[in-house]
Amino acid sequence: MNDEKIKVLIVDDSDLFRAYINDLLKKDPDIEVVGFAKNGLEGLEKAKLLKPHVILLDIEMPVMNGIECLKRLGKQGNYGIIIVSGFKREVIKATIEGLELGAFDFIYKTANFLSIRANEIIAKIKMAYMTIKKTQLFGRTGTKKQHEGDVSIATEKNGLKYIIALGVSTGGPKALATILPEFPEDLPASIIIVQHMPPKFTSSLASRLNEISRMEVKEAEQGDQLKAGYVYIAPGDYHLTFGNNEKGLYINLDQSPPVRGFRPNVDVMMTSLANIEGFNNIIGVIMTGMGNDGSKGLLELKKKKAETFIIAQDEDTSTVFGMPKAAIELGIVDKTLPLNEIPACIMNFMGVHQ
């Protein structure tokens, strides 16, 4: 990778987990575990002393929990923080909060750690490191958002004039928490989101985003009829596609095989939308995330519905630029924007002002 090893600090109250992860990471020549901590307070002290690049941070710990530690770490230094989560409801909720607070990503563990995949955690550690180094070199930039428009929000019988199809992965919870509150409750559109997440986490994400948004945010269910003013998040472990009946567009969920490791998959959602007859007012949005999921589906949208308007999040404000970059390189993106300009651009395109 480079001459500098990635220094990792493991903060977890489980002796077994620390030993397990240490053995796992020893196998990669680019990674060096520089220390361990049994609680958040000790983690803060070790981080200050050892100056790690990446911190694996457990949520449930004595003395100081992971969320409180995360808040203080953000003030103490620039670290790539990967949350170690479990499947209990309160832990999932805290994990979503941690991602909103700026954690890079998360891994989840069961009692026997069998849910932890070596390749996945090593890839996340390396990407967190690269993101931190990029931020140190170039910093973050952003542009003040502007709201322009010359048409008030339409009030049709069903209200649905547009579909906003959005794909996102690493860095998604924080990005979504930034843009969704900007949309008014009477937006004449449905927003459909595929966020790469496992089961249960998408439900907690939807609940959290609903608390801070003016639109109604829910985890999508089989047969949901699309309504204006609603945000639908694909549930973990289910692909989201679309159907059409006498009432309009509705949501289908299925557990057909993962596509390139992802279920839900952004390409699956975008391609399904491209194949729906009779609805052409579509805005495609591709945001922060590793890999290239979404670019093929957006290409299908452009081929079959040429009027589709596509927005990509820019590199400076993306936690990981992989997914937006892949779409941009295909030449199908109409606008590349900083995160905080995306809502205004969408509403301007729709002729909406607040």
Catalytic residue among 28, 190, 196, 213: 196
Q: Read off the amino acid at residue 194.
A: V
| 53 counts as catalytic | no
Catalytic residue among 14, 85, 169, 295: 169
Phi-psi region of 196 (alpha: psi -120 to 50; beta: other; left: phi over 0): beta
Secondary structure of residue 100 in the 3-state scheme: helix
CB-based contacts of 19: which residues, under 8 Å, 6+ apart? none
| 30 counts as catalytic | no
| Cβ proximity of 40 and 65 under 8 Å | yes
Query: What ranges in 118-256 are assigned the alpha helix state H?
Result: 118-138, 172-179, 201-212
Q: 279: burial class by Cβ within 10 Å (0-12, 13-18, 19+)?
A: middle
Q: Per-residue DSSP letters for 222-263?
A: TTPBP-TTEEEEPPTT-EEEEEEETTEEEEEEE-PPPBTTBS
| 115 counts as catalytic | no
Catalytic residue among 28, 58, 224, 293: 293
Catalytic site positions: 169, 196, 293
